[in-house]
Amino acid sequence: MTEIGSPAPDFTLDNQYGEPVTLSALRGRPVALVFYPFAFSGVCTGELCRLQDNLSVFEDAGVRLLAVSTDSKYALRAFAREESFDFDLLSDFWPHGAVAQRYGVFDADSGMAERATFVLDAGGTVVDAFRSEPGTPRELASYRAALARLAG
């Protein structure tokens, strides 16, 4: 898993609308990268809906929220539309899971990203990282603590 204090691996992935999002192009603003297994699955839907319901926590901290899964952009577009997500869902579909692999959070046996979060400062350095076990949602308190560390 990419370690705290290290530079975040750069990438370009399409969002749910097919628009490319390049991590290094977001420098100057903190970013929260939220890897999750699959769109429409129960735990993932609950987690992302909780983030949507608390999007102001990220916005107030000036943090850009990016959610990453190995789903196609087409599945992510339907997922975002169904759940009314106001943040980017990034497709790590092809090469399958390449970005999750670079972050050390790809489960090759199941072909999905693990449930892991990386909070990056404005320069692209990982200031916090946490994960949860399969089937276990990450707590909102973990995000709040990471954003507090980001603020210093």
From 44, 76, 126, 147, the catalytic residue? 44
Residue 44 annotated as catalytic: yes
Half-sphere exposure of 27 (CA within 13 A, CB side): 10
Q: How far apart are the first and last CA of the chain?
A: 23
The CA distance from 101 to 103, in Å, is 5
Q: Which residues contact 29 (CB under 8 A, 6 or more apart)?
A: 62, 63, 64, 122
The CA distance from 138 to 18, in Å, is 27
The tokens of 63 are what?
């943090």
Q: List active site positions.
A: 44
